[in-house]
Amino acid sequence: MTTHRLAFSKVDTAKFISHLDLMRTFQRAFLRAGLAIKHTEGFNPHAFVSIPLPLSVGYSSACEVLECQLLGEVDLDTVPERLNAVLPEGILVHRCYEAQRPVKELCFVNYIVTLEYESGAPFGVDTDIQELLGRESLVVRKRSKKAKSGFTEVDLIPLIARTSIEERRDVVCLDLVLRAQNPGLNPELILNAIREELPEAAPDFVTFHRRAVLDDSFQIWE
Amino acid sequence: MNRTLEHILPRVQKPARYTGGEYNAVMKDRSQVDIRVALCFPDTYEIGMSNLGIRILYGVMNEMDRVWCERVFAPWGDMEAEMRREGIPLYGLESGDSIADFDVIGFSLGYEMSYTNVLNMLDLAGLPLRSEDRDGLSPLVIAGGTCAFNPEPLAPFIDIFSLGEGEDVTVELIELCRKAKEECWTKEELLIAAAQIPGLYVPSLYEVEYKEDGTIASITPTHGAPAVVTKRIVQDLDKAYFPTKTIVPSTEIVHDRVMLEVFRGCIRGCRFCQAGYAYRPVRCKKPETLVKQGIESCQNSGYQEMTLSSLSTSDYRRLLDLCDGLQEWCDPNGVSLSLPSLRADNFSWSLMERLQHGRKSGLTFAPEAGTQRLRDVINKNVTEEDILNFCRTAFAGGWSTVKLYFMLGLPTETDEDVLGIADLADKVYRVWREVTPNRARGVKITVSTAFFVPKPHTAFQWEGQITREEYERRVKLLREHMRGRSTVYHWHEADTSVLEAVLARGDRRLADLLECVWHKGAKLDTWNEYFSYDRWVEAMEECGIDPAFYACRQRDKDEILPWSITSTGVSPRFLWRERERAYEGVITPDCRQQCTGCGADKLYPNGVCDAEC
């Protein structure tokens, strides 16, 4: 049976919809759009959808992926329009296609992390951060459900594939390519490291944006 | 989205409650509207969005030309702290605009413990709490809902109360506001004109005087306001607006499903029940209307669950037709249908089996009292035999979880009645032993007791609530007599029930208490995380208010009750007669067997209660 994928973006108010709520939102949207998809079995059958790389609440994204199985004869080109008509504000489906490559080939995520400073970016912050992320190793503590202490240590450096930093008047933009899975790296941890190691570079506010999902040769994965 | 808001949302729990942007939320162009309405529910988003009344009024107002109605809920404590710190006033979810600049701010009052949220929300909006301190024509602060049937504790804060069903009167009031705005009336002119619209109560137009003993000496209307304001009702529910294209929240809410309102009112006449009296007369929708609305609601929302809503669903005459009609569509479309509010005495098992599709979820029902004598006093009209037969069929059919709801502190209750609850639970257990096909699986019987709160506009509106000590004694007595490992006993803490009893039958002097306790930090009082009984006790002491005067005092027949300026259509004479019959232990037949002349039929011309549909 063919698996279908939706490529969609999640911005503005929709940034604050959590992963589980987003799945529910899509399940209902398919029904509103009159698109039949495969259901789970059991006492409470519900539309089966899955999102391979859950996005943290508050992050925006231009490259989300949802998997489902559309039933019956459907012209895939009409799916984005049909869904967009019934989705909440801030979620926009760009494309619906048959899945070819397996999810495990999704290796990297490109994030744009914007550090905002109310009174202007401190001088030299960009080079400081560049240096920090260029170290041989950068071990941070991370919450863990498995570890008894509730925390575990993780070295960020092997999980960072590319870094490019640009400083503007009151913002610093980090263009990061991070490992996506097994294990993946949440850019929040990089922020924590900056706050810890470079207190003077700690921003007043941060936004996280997922720009692209990539394969192991840094080409767009879909 | 507002930039400051965007900065604070990542720091609060469940931020999707504060963003708007849900599917079917109504967006309008500010330049194309001339009346802006904030429809406020004084509790969190999850609770407020589960309220059908809010959804109906939202739809009704947004269908109006040049009117934009937006939703507003009480923020959770973390969000409130952020809003106050960043100087973000309370805003409408649709536009994000501050509601202080709106024309009308309307509150839905469903329970007394939400009153502090009303004050807190007015304050978060940056508005003075008291009506007299808000001079301008706008925003006009109005309130409706069940609690509006005793509006007095909130009277000094609210400009206009709307009694009864809001579908029609809300439109009339908004048109009046529009006229007032166009013609530059003063607020007083608007209030005096509003008092002439049936169903609208303008508290500032009434003078209340008190006797030395604290009871009311007189309530005097001024400026031509009516002596009694009678509630409004919708006559033909088949023709009334029903929101089939309603907002689908992007985050989980309490009742996250299609709610299909089957009928309003209730044919029973349980003497303690405010809803049973206040929503009279019974008016139902045709099954054909309901099937159409149910299907449309599912298609427009994508919900896969639907629940039938009413005060007593098994009293709907054509329930089988309705369920057949709905199931014909629901089954092939994977939508499950649930029926709450069933009675043990007229319950159809074949229907239950069909709806459950082999699932055996728990069964819940409310005998309310432990002995037949006391059930007759409250006119519950369910016999022990009904209850046991109901359980027998359920257990034989494979059900193994039953919840039984009771009240403690009902008028005339004795220890024998209290122990009757334990007896009944025991009999239910024995029935299970006798008929269950699978003893090894065990049974779970949950008994819950609430602390009876006498409510306005009921046959027990004159009664005193038993004291907290007495209630706790009865809980202890029952707990000691509850037998068996299969029975679990839960009881309500007394604190909120005592306060509810004070506020439910309070007068205008309680406004000072509400303001005082709010100043001390009271808000979100229905939530354990925030509720503090000590805070209320302190405030009562400071304001010189004796809770026993409001909660425990037995009223005389002739006492002027604070809510006597409002009428549900049911006459106080009828309620007093019901009270007397309660003390005689005489039951009153339901409206379908015989009309007992409550007066609610006079609410519409040629009114016929409970007409065939």
Tell me whether residues A57 and B15 touch, CB distance under 8 A.
yes
Mean pLDDT of chain A: 93
Q: Name the residue facing A21 among B1, B250, B301 (closest C-beta).
A: B250
For an interface test with B, give the residue of A31, A59, A204 to mutate (most B CBs within 10 A): A31
Q: Cα–Cα distance between B506 and B461 in angstroms, integer?
A: 12
**What mean pLDDT do residues B111-124 have?**
98
- Report helix, strand or coil for A166: strand
What residue ranges in B496-596 does DSSP mark as E strands? 566-567
- For residue B237 the two structure tokens come to 């529910």
Residue B532 has pLDDT above 90, yes or no: yes
Chosen for mutation from A11, A12, A13 (greatest number of chain B CBs closer than 10 Å) is A13
Q: Tell the residue number behind the tokens 């299970």, with chain if given.
A: B432
Q: Would the CB atoms of A12 and B21 count as touching at under 8 Å?
A: yes
Query: Cα–Cα distances in Å, from B374 out to B31, B92, B494?
Result: 61, 48, 21
pLDDT at B359: 61
Answer whether residue B357 shows pLDDT above 70: no
Query: In this predicted structure, what is the pLDDT of residue B400?
Result: 86
User: Could you say which of A39, A58, A87 has the minimum Cβ distance to residue B334?
Assistant: A39
* Nearest CA-CA distance, residue A16 and chain B, Å: 5
Instruction: Find the chain A residues whose C-beta atoms sit closer than 8 A to any C-beta of B.
Output: 12-14, 16-18, 20-22, 24-25, 27-32, 39, 43-46, 57-58, 86-90, 205
* pLDDT 10s digits, B2-38: 889 999 999 999 999 999 999 999 999 999 999 999 9
Among chain B residues, the shortest Cα distance to A32 is held by B302
Chain A residues with beta carbon closer than 8 angstroms to that of B9:
16, 58
- Which chain A residue has its CA at the smallest distance from B302's CA? A28
How distant, in Å, are the alpha carbons of B95, B334, B440 from that of B89? 13, 43, 59
Q: What tokens were used for B151?
A: 């509006």
Q: Comparing C-alpha atoms, which of B220, B150, B217, B209 is closest to residue B559?
A: B217
Distance from CA of B607 to the nearest CA of A (A): 40
Identity of the residue numbered A29: A
Q: Calculate the alpha carbon distances from B242 to A206, B13, B36, B57 in Å.
A: 44, 33, 22, 9
C-alpha closest to that of B474 among B384, B374, B584, B401: B374
- Please report which confidence band the pLDDT of residue B423 belongs to, taking 50, 70 and 90 as the band edges: very high
Which residues of B, range 358-377, sit inside 8 Å of A by Cβ? 358-359
**pLDDT tens-digit profile of B395-422?**
887 888 899 999 999 999 999 999 999 9
What is the least distance, in Å, from the CA of B11 to any CA of chain A? 9
Q: Which tens digits make up the pLDDT trace of B330-355?
A: 988 888 888 876 777 776 767 766 66
In sequence order, the 6+-apart residues with CB closer than 8 A to the CB of B194 are B160, B173, B176, B200, B202
Residue B10 to residue A30, Cβ atoms within 8 A: no
CA distances from B456 to B233, B323, B560 (A): 19, 35, 12
Tokens linked to B105 = 């701010």
Closest partner residue to A28 (CB to CB) among B7, B18, B303 is: B303
**Angle, to 10 degrees, between the axis of helix B349-356 and the axis of helix B319-330?**
10
Least confident of B59-63, B356-360, B366-370, B431-435: B356-360
Closest chain A residue to the Cα of B296, Cα to Cα:
A32
3-state helix, strand, coil in chain B (%, to 5): 40, 15, 45
In a mutational test of the B interface, the residue from A11, A28, A68, A208 whose CB has the highest number of chain B CBs within 10 Å is A28
Partner-chain residue, chosen from B22, B23, B334, that has the shortest CB–CB distance to A45:
B334
Determine whether the interchain pair A13/B359 forms a contact, defined as Cβ–Cβ distance below 8 Å: no
Question: CB-based contacts of B24: which residues, under 8 Å, 6+ apart?
Answer: B245, B246, B247, B248, B300, B301
Binary contact (B250, A12; C-beta < 8 A): no
The distance of Cα B110 from the centroid of its chain, to the nearest Å, equals: 4
Q: Which residues of A134-144 are buried (b: 16+ CB within 10 A; e: fewer)?
A: eeeebebebee
B22 touches chain A (CB under 8 A): yes
Kind and range of the H or E run holding B421? helix B415-435
* Contacting residues for A41 by C-beta, under 8 A, at least 6 apart: none
State whether residue B303 sits within 8 Å of chain A by CB. yes
List the alpha helices (DSSP H) in B279-414: 287-301, 319-330, 349-356, 372-377, 384-396
Phi, psi angle pair for B489, to nearest 5°: -115, 125
Whole-angstrom distance, CA of residue A191 vs CA of residue B567: 62
pLDDT at B209: 98
At residue A21, the pLDDT reads 96
Q: Is the peptide bond before A199 cis (omega within 30 degrees of 0)?
A: no
What token pair was written down for B252? 């989980």
Rounded CA gap, B407 and B384, in Å?
Answer: 16
pLDDT, tens digit, for every residue of A48-71? 899 999 999 999 999 999 999 999
Q: Residues B98, B101, B104, CA angle at the centre, nearest 5°?
A: 105
Q: What is the pLDDT of residues B449-483, one digit of tens each?
A: 999 999 999 999 999 999 999 999 999 999 999 98
Pairing label, strands B401-408, B363-368: parallel
Mutate: best of B19, B355, B359, B360, partner A, most A CBs <10 A: B19
CA closest to B245 among chain A residues? A32
Residue A153, classed as helix, strand or coil, is: strand
The confidence score (pLDDT) of residue B342 equals 73
CB pairs under 8 A between A and B: 76
Closest chain A CA to residue B298: A32
User: Residues of B with CB below 8 A from A22's CB?
Assistant: 250
**Alpha-carbon torsion (A183, A187, A189, A190), positive or negative:** positive
Is 70 exceeded by the pLDDT of residue B327? yes
Tokens representing B96? 């994000």
The whole-model pTM stands at 0.95
Q: Is the pLDDT of residue B358 over 70?
A: no
Q: Phi and psi at residue B435, in whole multiples of 5°? A: -110, -10
Please give the C-alpha separations between residue B431 and each of A12, B78, B361, in angstroms, as whole numbers: 58, 50, 19
For an interface test with A, the pick among B8, B11, B18, B23 (most A C-beta atoms closer than 10 Å) comes out as: B23
B11 touches chain A (CB under 8 A): no
Spell out which residues of chain A touch residue B298, defining contact as CB-CB under 8 Å.
31
**What angle, 0 to 180 degrees and rounded to 10, lies between the N-to-C axes of helices B115-124 and B510-519?**
60
Is there a cis peptide before residue B42, judged by omega within 30 degrees of 0? Answer: no
B484 against B46, higher pLDDT: B46
In angstroms, the CA B213 to CA B507 distance is 14
- Non-local CB neighbours of B495 within 8 Å, separated by 6+ positions: B531, B533
Mean pLDDT of chain B: 94
Express each pLDDT in B79-101 by its tens digit: 999 999 999 999 999 999 999 99
Partner-chain contact B304 A46, CB within 8 Å:
yes
User: What pLDDT was estimated at residue A187?
Assistant: 96
Given a contact cutoff of 8 angstroms between Cβ atoms, the answer to whether A39 and A30 are in contact is no
Distance from CA of B449 to the nearest CA of A (A): 32
Q: How far apart are CA B216 and CA B559, in angstroms?
A: 7
* A182-191 as b/e: b if 16+ CB within 10 A: eeebbbebbb
Chain A: give the shortest CA distance to residue B303, in Å: 6
Q: What is the pLDDT of residues B546-580, one digit of tens each?
A: 999 999 999 999 999 999 999 999 999 999 999 99
> Does B338 lie at the interface with A, CB-CB under 8 angstroms?
no
Please compute the mean of the pLDDT values over residues B298-326 and round it to a whole number: 93
If you average pLDDT over each of A30-44, A139-153, B244-258, which comes out highest?
Answer: B244-258
Tell me if A57 and B23 make a contact (CB, 8 A cut-off): no
- The predicted pLDDT at position B314 comes to 87
